[in-house]
Amino acid sequence: MDIVIKNKDEIALMREGGKILAAIVKKISKMAKPGVATSELNREAEALILKSGGRCSFLGYNGYPACLCVSINEEIVHAIPSARILKEGDIVSLDLGILYKGFHTDMAVTVPVGKVGPEAKKIIKVTQKALKIAIEKSKSGNKFSDISRAVQNYIESQGFGVVRDLCGHGIGRKLHEDPEILNYIEDNIEDSIIQEGMVFCPEPMVSLGSGEIKQAQDGFGYKTRDNSCSCHFEHTIVATKKGAKILTK
């Protein structure tokens, strides 16, 4: 594993980009209301990123045709924005990355569309808490497996399924760098000690069902195999001796 440690100047640039990204995601989240097409959210996200002086991290990445990933209900990640209209009771995951002054930052939130049911409210709350737990475990001196174990234990204790075929990642000059950050613990995984200056994106992905996934028809998105509702949260963070600091806020 080749984990790049960032210096103070590089972290400062990522913090600057992360702040811009967080403001854009906040604005897009407020737009996610019944009657809105997911393509509208994508257009606004791209316009705001270009206005900021940044570039869309996802557009063209491995052929992805949009700036924003908009995943609804059983869709977990990477669903392509389209003419699909958000409906009352949906939950929608918004995943966005920005390339700013040579460095990527990446974040995701899941928001309710109008009034949602108790299960939808709970899965959002649990996934958000799982991300908080991951961040708390991301201090220098811990191992990446400490994050994986804590996230899995919490999600499963709440009666939800952990998505195992997708994971968090390092980030910097490249959108995806080492390490991979699993949301579950596995024997014989390559593990590393977290060091100050490592920048990475924990991203718990949670399902009301088994957590098994399949690729969507668009060739980019993933959805739950049993069509159960799913949820996704992500931040870009930096490890320090005093604990992890969130760069995307």
- Domains of the chain as residue ranges with CATH: 8-246 (3.90.230.10)
Cis preceding-peptide flag for 179 (omega within 30 of 0):
yes
Summary mean pLDDT of the chain: 96
How confident is residue 128, by pLDDT bands cut at 50, 70 and 90? very high
Does the pLDDT value for residue 135 go beyond 90? yes
pLDDT over 90 percentage in the chain = 95
Yes or no: say if 67 and 88 are a contact pair by the CB < 8 Å rule.
Answer: no
Exposed, middle or buried: residue 139 (CB in 10 Å: 0-12, 13-18, 19+)?
middle
pLDDT at 115 over 80: yes
Residue 59 has pLDDT above 90, yes or no: yes
**Is pLDDT above 80 for 189?**
no
Task: State both tokens at 158.
Answer: 């709440």
- Order of strands across the sheet that contains 230-232: 161-162, 205-207, 230-232
Helix/strand/coil for 130: helix
Tokens at 58, concatenated: 């996802």
b/e map of 5-20 (b: 16 or more CB within 10 Å)? Answer: ebeeebbebbbbbbbb
pLDDT of residue 190: 77
> Binning pLDDT at 50, 70 and 90, where does residue 1 land?
confident
Confidence band (pLDDT; 50, 70, 90) for 187?
confident
Instruction: Determine the average pLDDT of the residues in 78-91.
Output: 97
Band (pLDDT 50/70/90 cuts) for residue 188 is: confident
pLDDT value at position 241?
A: 87
The model's confidence at residue 186, banded by pLDDT at 50, 70 and 90, is confident
pLDDT tens by residue, 205-224:
999 999 999 999 889 999 99
What is the β-pairing status of strands 75-77 and 222-224?
Answer: antiparallel
Give the per-residue pLDDT at 80.
97
Confidence of residue 195 (pLDDT cuts 50, 70, 90): very high
Average pLDDT for 7-14? 98
Would the pLDDT of 185 be above 90?
yes
* Low-confidence winner among 71-85, 178-192, 227-241 (lowest mean pLDDT): 178-192
What is the per-residue pLDDT for 192? 93
Q: How confident is the model over 201-205, as a mean pLDDT?
A: 98
